[in-house]
Protein backbone atom coordinates (compact mmCIF):
# COMPACT_ATOMS: atom_id res chain seq x y z
CA UNK A 1 0.00 0.00 0.00
CA UNK A 2 1.17 3.50 -0.76
CA UNK A 3 1.00 6.54 1.46
CA UNK A 4 -1.92 7.78 -0.68
CA UNK A 5 -3.93 4.60 -0.13
CA UNK A 6 -3.15 4.79 3.60
CA UNK A 7 -4.35 8.41 3.70
CA UNK A 8 -7.57 7.65 1.80
CA UNK A 9 -8.16 4.51 3.87
CA UNK A 10 -7.98 6.51 7.09
CA UNK A 11 -10.34 9.16 5.68
CA UNK A 12 -12.74 6.45 4.50
CA UNK A 13 -12.82 4.76 7.92
CA UNK A 14 -13.58 8.13 9.54
CA UNK A 15 -16.33 9.00 7.02
CA UNK A 16 -17.98 5.57 6.89
CA UNK A 17 -19.97 5.84 10.16
CA UNK A 18 -21.37 9.22 9.09
CA UNK A 19 -22.38 7.89 5.68
CA UNK A 20 -24.02 4.82 7.21
CA UNK A 21 -25.92 7.00 9.72
CA UNK A 22 -27.27 9.09 6.86
CA UNK A 23 -28.56 5.97 5.09
CA UNK A 24 -31.00 5.31 7.92
CA UNK A 25 -34.34 6.96 8.52
CA UNK A 26 -36.55 9.05 6.31
CA UNK A 27 -33.77 10.73 4.31
CA UNK A 28 -31.85 7.50 3.77
CA UNK A 29 -33.52 6.83 0.42
CA UNK A 30 -32.39 10.25 -0.81
CA UNK A 31 -28.77 9.60 0.21
CA UNK A 32 -28.84 6.03 -1.16
CA UNK A 33 -29.74 7.40 -4.62
CA UNK A 34 -26.21 8.88 -4.82
CA UNK A 35 -24.43 5.60 -4.04
CA UNK A 36 -22.22 3.92 -5.04
CA UNK A 37 -19.60 6.62 -5.59
CA UNK A 38 -16.03 6.45 -6.91
CA UNK A 39 -13.75 9.39 -6.23
CA UNK A 40 -10.35 9.33 -7.89
CA UNK A 41 -7.48 11.22 -6.26
CA UNK A 42 -4.43 12.10 -8.38
CA UNK A 43 -1.43 13.48 -6.55
CA UNK A 44 2.29 13.88 -7.03
CA UNK A 45 2.81 10.51 -5.26
CA UNK A 46 0.31 8.52 -7.33
CA UNK A 47 -3.37 7.89 -7.95
CA UNK A 48 -5.97 5.91 -6.01
CA UNK A 49 -9.73 5.91 -5.56
CA UNK A 50 -12.02 6.03 -2.56
CA UNK A 51 -15.11 3.90 -3.17
CA UNK A 52 -18.36 4.05 -1.21
CA UNK A 53 -20.76 1.17 -1.85
CA UNK A 54 -24.57 1.16 -1.63
CA UNK A 55 -24.42 0.27 2.09
CA UNK A 56 -22.03 3.13 2.88
CA UNK A 57 -18.93 0.94 3.29
CA UNK A 58 -15.70 2.51 2.08
CA UNK A 59 -12.66 0.99 0.42
CA UNK A 60 -9.60 2.20 -1.46
CA UNK A 61 -8.26 0.82 -4.72
CA UNK A 62 -5.03 1.46 -6.56
CA UNK A 63 -4.97 2.00 -9.48
CA UNK A 64 -8.30 3.83 -9.67
CA UNK A 65 -11.14 2.51 -11.86
CA UNK A 66 -11.46 4.04 -15.31
CA UNK A 67 -14.89 5.65 -14.73
CA UNK A 68 -14.90 7.71 -11.51
CA UNK A 69 -17.76 9.98 -10.46
CA UNK A 70 -15.28 12.66 -9.31
CA UNK A 71 -11.57 13.27 -9.95
CA UNK A 72 -9.57 15.40 -7.51
CA UNK A 73 -6.08 16.53 -8.57
CA UNK A 74 -3.73 18.14 -6.08
CA UNK A 75 -0.47 17.54 -4.25
CA UNK A 76 -0.26 14.86 -1.59
CA UNK A 77 0.64 17.50 1.02
CA UNK A 78 -2.43 19.61 0.16
CA UNK A 79 -4.75 16.59 0.19
CA UNK A 80 -3.34 15.38 3.51
CA UNK A 81 -3.79 18.83 5.08
CA UNK A 82 -7.34 19.14 3.69
CA UNK A 83 -8.40 15.76 5.04
CA UNK A 84 -6.93 16.53 8.49
CA UNK A 85 -8.75 19.90 8.63
CA UNK A 86 -12.05 18.79 7.12
CA UNK A 87 -15.14 20.36 8.60
CA UNK A 88 -13.10 22.91 10.56
CA UNK A 89 -13.81 26.06 8.58
CA UNK A 90 -14.21 27.15 5.02
CA UNK A 91 -12.53 24.85 2.52
CA UNK A 92 -9.75 26.25 0.37
CA UNK A 93 -9.68 25.20 -3.25
CA UNK A 94 -6.22 26.66 -3.87
CA UNK A 95 -4.12 24.12 -5.72
CA UNK A 96 -7.00 21.68 -6.17
CA UNK A 97 -8.67 20.77 -9.45
CA UNK A 98 -11.98 18.92 -9.19
CA UNK A 99 -13.67 17.35 -12.19
CA UNK A 100 -17.11 15.84 -11.78
CA UNK A 101 -17.88 13.15 -14.35
CA UNK A 102 -21.46 12.30 -13.37
CA UNK A 103 -24.45 14.30 -12.14
CA UNK A 104 -24.59 12.27 -8.93
CA UNK A 105 -20.85 12.79 -8.46
CA UNK A 106 -21.33 16.55 -8.77
CA UNK A 107 -24.23 16.53 -6.31
CA UNK A 108 -22.28 14.42 -3.82
CA UNK A 109 -19.15 16.58 -4.14
CA UNK A 110 -21.10 19.81 -3.71
CA UNK A 111 -22.72 18.38 -0.58
CA UNK A 112 -19.53 16.83 0.87
CA UNK A 113 -17.01 19.47 -0.22
CA UNK A 114 -16.51 20.93 3.27
CA UNK A 115 -16.64 17.53 4.97
CA UNK A 116 -13.62 16.37 2.98
CA UNK A 117 -11.80 19.68 3.39
CA UNK A 118 -11.90 20.70 -0.26
Share of the chain above pLDDT 90, in %: 55
Average per-residue pLDDT for the chain: 88
CB 58 within 8 A of CB 51: yes
CATH T-level assignment (fold) for domain 3-112: Nonspecific Lipid-transfer Protein; Chain A (3.30.1050)
Domain boundaries, the chain: 3-112
Distance between CA atoms of residues 18 and 77, nearest Å: 25
In the chain, beta strands by DSSP E: 37-43, 46-52, 58-61, 70-73, 97-100
Distance between CA atoms of residues 21 and 28, nearest Å: 8
Query: What are 63-114's pLDDT values in tens digits?
Result: 989 999 999 999 999 998 888 877 665 455 668 899 999 999 998 888 777 7
CA-nearest of 103, 4, 94, 90 to 45 is 4
CA-nearest of 35, 60, 36 to 49 is 60
Mean predicted confidence (pLDDT) in 41-55: 95
Instruction: Tell whether pTM > 0.85.
Output: yes
Q: In sequence order, what are the residues at sequence separation of 6 or more whose Cβ sits closer than 8 angstroms to the Cβ of residue 115?
A: 15, 18, 86, 87
- Bridge partners (DSSP) of residue 61 are 49
Amino acid sequence: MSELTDLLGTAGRELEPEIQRRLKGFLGAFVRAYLPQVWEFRTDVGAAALLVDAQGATSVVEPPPSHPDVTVETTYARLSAALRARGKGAPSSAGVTVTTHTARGKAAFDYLRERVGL
